[in-house]
Amino acid sequence: MRYAIVIERAGNNFSGYVPDLPGCIATGATVEETETELLSAIQFHLNGLREDGVAAPNGESIVEYVFVPAQPCAPGDASPQSGSRP
């Protein structure tokens, strides 16, 4: 099986979750440790589903990056740092 994972910086560590397995989360001091902990959490989660007689869900989430081009401010526009709103 294949599942998408999301790892985010969380202060001084990292946290991760599996979108297709609600409640399946892990933390670690590094991205690599978080990924390793997530793999263990996924296996634990799937074992629990199996023991309960519940079929493991398919991994259906899609993870992708999008490019957002930078747009310079026009003269007279408030800069994003100023905190002003138009």
Q: How far apart are CA 61 and CA 40, in angstroms?
A: 19
Q: How confident is the model at residue 78 (pLDDT cuts 50, 70, 90)?
A: low
Architecture of domain 6-63: 2-Layer Sandwich (3.30)
Neighbours of 25 (CB within 10 A): 16
Whether pTM > 0.85 for this model: the answer is no
pLDDT given for residue 86 in this prediction: 45
Residue 52 to residues 2, 80, 86: CA-CA distances in angstroms? 21, 51, 55
Tens digits of per-residue pLDDT, 11-63? 999 999 999 999 999 999 999 999 999 999 999 999 999 999 999 999 999 99
